[in-house]
Amino acid sequence: MLNLVTGRQRPRFIAGIATILLVAAGAFGIGIAYAQMPNPPQAGGWLKALPPERQIEAIDRQFRGFDMAMFEVNYRYTEMYFAGIEGNWDYALYTGEKIAWAIQNGFERRPKRRANAQEIFFKEAYPQVLSAIRKKDIARFKESVDALRGACNACHTAERVGFIHVGIPSIKQTPLINN
């Protein structure tokens, strides 16, 4: 151990203690950092509590139908519009392409909606908007968005929800900016 005459071991001994203290302080610091993380949400257990043969049905119900697909379509349509107007073309394409994904997921849940959407929306109006975005052509973008909302509304009429009228968006949904 420590040689009290020469004191040679002392510096190493002190260095050892210092290292231990540093490691401990570090661990304590990490402990504090973790302690500041909110607890993960607790599962409610409601799904597990159902009999197994009713669990899939409950998940199906919770995913909802075409209404929730439209919820996303509406969000992305609005985002795409402001992105284009602001010249944020990469984001306009990113969110605009996802309109198709949202509607297609909607078809999976409600296959009867497919035929009208294919005919009224996907054939012309939608590809025209994406093409204007890819060309970064603001005049064509504005025209094609107007035609697109016409297609949204024509499909609503065909699907007997003609009271849902889509206009040109007026309120931005996110704080995203173009810079």
Residues that bind ligand HEC (CB under 6 A): 65-67, 70-71, 73-74, 77, 113, 116-117, 120-121, 148, 152, 155-156, 159, 161, 164, 166
Contact yes or no for 106/113 (Cβ under 8 A): yes
DSSP 164: -
Query: In whole angstroms, how close is the CB of 120 to ligand HEC at the nearest point?
Result: 6
Q: How far apart are CA 89 and CA 149, in angstroms?
A: 19
**Contact (Cβ atoms closer than 8 angstroms) between residue 82 and residue 95:** no
Closer by beta carbon to ligand HEC, 8 or else 134 = 134
Give me the least distance between CB of 173 and ligand HEC, in Å please. 12
Cβ(90)–Cβ(177) below 8 Å: no
CB 151 within 8 A of CB 126: yes
d(CA 83, CA 104): 23
Question: 89 or 125: whose CB is closer to ligand HEC?
Answer: 125
CB closer to ligand HEC, 77 vs 82: 77
- Cβ at position 144, least distance to ligand HEC in Å: 12
| Shortest reach from residue 167's CB to ligand HEC, in Å | 9
**What is the CB neighbour count within 10 angstroms for residue 28?**
10
Least Å distance, CB 90 to ligand HEC, is 20
Q: Which is nearer to ligand HEC, 57 or 67 (CB)?
A: 67
DSSP 110: -
Q: Which is nearer to ligand HEC, 2 or 164 (CB)?
A: 164
